[in-house]
Amino acid sequence: MRAISLLLLLGGWLVSPAHATEAQDWLLRMSAAERTQSFQGAFIYQRSGSFSSHRIWHGVDASGQVRERLLQLDGPVQEVLRINGRVACVKGALAEQVAAEQAWPVREFDPKQLQEWYDLRVAGESRVAGRPAVVLAVAPRDQHRYGFELHLDRETGLLLKSLLLNEKGQLLERFQFSTFEPGQPADADLQGGADCRQVQIAETSEMPPNNWRSEWLPPGFTLNSVLERRSAVSKEMVSCLVYGDGLARFSVFLEPLRGAVAEDARSQLGPTVAVSKRMSTDEGDVMVTVVGEIPLGTAERVALSMRSGLAQSTP
């Protein structure tokens, strides 16, 4: 495999228009391939020193319906079945988390939007799971997002390997196929197991409550969706605002405390950060929590900038 310098991801090299256009074409091909092509295989996932292996079956039928089943192969048994991007059933420790969120993490690539905030480049060739691949370097233009190295299958355009790196060139997350086979999986492999628990649809509202907004956002991030959902822990209605830049994304959760004791907190696991700040409003204190794949300092600044028509001050 050709060695790809981390400087390609984290530096400010000159990208020719031809190379940038070719990279955009590959990203568009990848996005289309995930919606139209079937495959199966095994992959590894690594972050913060933890390592896990998984099987995946991804089938697209003649009507365009996409069924995807993921099964963790080591540690506690965990399974997720998605139909057209929506979770249908879950087994294992993920059950409560996925039932609450109603979605498996999916990254949507928008090449035209990406080129405003990232430098895109075809960086070379590689070989993943025994298959020739094209390597794309996606380098952030500021300190508010991470860099990526993407290895796309030359035949299908599907993603075979992804590396996520911070501003120091440190690996935060690795996704990589060890075996990969294009083609339609067997129908039995696209069905959830007998003890795969059906996900209950959470109560949601599409209206932004209390006009919550951020007075500062990292350049390029825009509000993608707003919803309100009942917390599985406190039964309070929790507001959720989702922001993205075409590649990276983060969510802001706003939960009324109703006198509950809660302290400010910050943590990071691989690329995912969580920052919680207590905010006072006329109707009582609210815990503001920012969760996403952005640098810790950026998440803290977003949390401190959240405002509503009821906000009095931010600590």
Q: Is the pLDDT of residue 98 over 70?
A: no
Please write the tens of the pLDDT for every residue from 238-282: 888 889 888 888 999 988 887 777 888 999 888 889 999 998 877
Token pair 């993603």: residue: 159
The domain segmentation of the chain, as residue ranges, is 6-198, 204-313
Cα–Cα dist 41/36, whole Å = 17
pLDDT score at 259? 73
Neighbours of 179 (CB within 10 A): 12
Q: Which CATH number fits domain 204-313: 3.90.470.10, 3.30.930.10, 3.40.50.300, 3.30.200.100?
A: 3.30.200.100
- For the residues 284-290, what does the mean pLDDT come to? 90
Burial of residue 133 (CB within 10 Å: 0-12, 13-18, 19+) is buried
pTM of structure: 0.80
Measured CA to CA, the distance from residue 81 to residue 78 in angstroms comes to 10
What is the dihedral angle through the alpha carbons of 147, 291, 56, 33, rounded to the nearest 10 degrees?
-50
Q: 153-176 pLDDT, tens per residue?
A: 999 999 999 999 888 888 999 999
Contact 288, 299 (CB under 8 A): no
Q: Which CATH fold would you assign to the domain 6-198?
A: outer membrane lipoprotein receptor (LolB), chain A (2.50.20)
pLDDT of amino acid 107: 52
Q: What is the pLDDT of residues 22-81, one digit of tens each?
A: 888 998 899 889 889 999 999 999 987 788 999 999 999 999 999 999 999 998 888 999
